[in-house]
Structures are given as structure tokens and as C-alpha cells.
Structure 1
Amino acid sequence: MKTIILLALTVSYQMAFAQFTLVVKGNGTTNNAGTYRCLIFSGPSGFPKDPTQAKQFDNGTIAANTGTCIFKNLPAGTYAVSTYHDKNNNQKLDTGLFGAPKEKYGFSNDASKPFSPPDFAEAAFQLKSNSQINIKLK
């Protein structure tokens, strides 16, 4: 009985401090130039565009019109990702006169709204293990 309890406590302890890797693939970049930029958020504060509120950010790579970002050492939890193809490497999502994006962008769960970015809840997903998510860039 003591062995079972000790084993259960050990597994619970390891699960509480487990760290995971998340790979984010953005399909449909305009070309292979520029940088694929990703932000990952652990709550609604700052989502989707404030990098100071993001849990992590990554300046990823682009190959074969697919961007790749890798987030490491993430604890299990609820997250949402925002991403864009920074074609001109100016480190911001370029927008037009009325705020419509000029560069391709996307969110986890392929969340979208007609005239505004999605809410955190719409893009949120559970991270419980090493994972990969695919985002269709718009």
C-alpha cells in the first residue's frame, strides 16, 4: 500500500513540473522570405498582439511556404497562439488604412472573426504533451 501511494505521489509530482515542446506550423506563407513570428499566451491578457504579455515569442523559420516556430519548456496548461509572416522583417504586422492586415496571419484553432481578432477563448487549446499545431494563414 505504501508503495502505491509513493508511486502515485511521484507521478503527480512529475506531472506538475513537466515541461513540453510545442511546434507551430503556419501553412501558406506568401513566399520563403522574411520571418515567421509567433506569440504564445497563457491567458487573455494581451492576446493576440501584445508581445509584452506573451508567455513566449519565437522568430521562426520559413521553408516550402510553411513557417515553423518552436516553443520549449512550457508547462501543461491552456494556451493560444497568434502568428504572422513578417515579409519585410519590420517586426510588426503591417496593416492597411482601415487596419486590415497586409501580411498573412493566423491563430491557433484557425480562430477568426470577420472584422476583429478572435478572443483568447476561441483560440485556446490544452497542452498536455509535446505537440504540433497547424495554422492556416489568411
Structure 2
Amino acid sequence: MKKGIGMALALAAAACAWAGDVETTLTIDQVAPGTGELYVGIFDSEEGLKKREPVAKMKLEAAGSTVSANVALAPGDYYITVYQDINGNGKMDANLIGMPKEPVGIANYSGKGIPGGYEKHKLRIDESNTRVTIVLSRL
């Protein structure tokens, strides 16, 4: 009996932690349909971005020129990146100086000039901001 009560309390605590999450819609534009997959990395700190340790990641099918997915995130600041793995090798290919050879996108980035870091491109996710659009481009 005690084991069942403990399990019920653990499940209730987990449900409370998730209750504060915001259902966020991520839309990726200018996708090359049917070519490779999309890899999304969501970072909640500058340190996580530098260490390449996302708090969430997704792999999405490039089913159309626009792809959308929902993700539940705790309210806060996030840096969101996407790349399309055109050749299907499971990694983002880059040239000798580190510039991506495949389409990439960063939330809160216009696609013009050299992208900045976490502080420049972070965006706030909360109840008033639940939609994020990322446009893929070749740098």
C-alpha cells in the first residue's frame, strides 16, 4: 500500500512541474522538402550553448517547405537553432573556416550578417509569446 501511495505522490509532483510549461509552436520556413531531416537544439543558457548541451532537441522530417512542431518549455529565455541535414549524415557539415554548408537558422536572427551569441538572439518564451518562426538560410 505504501508503495502505491509513494508512486501516486511522485506522479502528482511530476504533473505539477509540467503544469507551468508553455506549449510553444516552432515553425521552420524555407525548408528543402523531402531532403534530409531538421535538427533543432533549444538552449536555456549561454553556458549550455557554448558546451552544445541543449535542454531539448528534436529531429523533424522535412515534409514540406514549412515544418511546424510543438514543444513544452518552462517560461524563460531560449536560444533556438535549426539545421537541415541535406546529405543525411547526421551532422551539420561546415567548410574549413567553420561556416555551415547546409541550411541553418536561429530564432530571433534575420539571416543577415554574422550571427551573434546567446545574449543577442535569445528570446523570451511565456504565455504572451508561444510562437517561434525560424527561417533557414545558407550562410
2:125 to 111, 124, 127: 127
Q: Sequence identity, in percent? A: 24
Partner of 1:5: none
Partner residue of 1:28 out of 26, 30, 50: 30
CA contact (8 A) 2:32 2:64 kept: no
Q: Offset of 1:87 from its aligned partner? A: 1.4
TM-score normalised according to structure 1 size: 0.74
Gaps of 5+ in 1: 1-13
Q: Hey, what does 1:46 align to over in structure 2?
A: 48
Q: AA paired with 1:133?
A: V
SS of residue in 1 equivalent to 2:116: coil
User: Given the two structures, how large is their TM-score scaled by the length of structure 2?
Assistant: 0.73
- 1:75 corresponds to: 74
Q: Could you tell me whether the CA contact under 8 Å between 2:32 and 2:62 is conserved in 1?
A: no
Matches of residues 94-109 of structure 1 in structure 2 within 5 Å?
94-109=93-108
Aligned length: 121
Aligned-pair RMSD on alpha carbons? Answer: 2.6
Shift of 1:30: 2.6
Which residues of structure 2 form unaligned runs of 5+? 1-15
Describe the SS at the equivalent of 1:37: strand
Q: Deviations over 1:81-112 (max 9, x none)?
A: 01111112222111123222111001011255
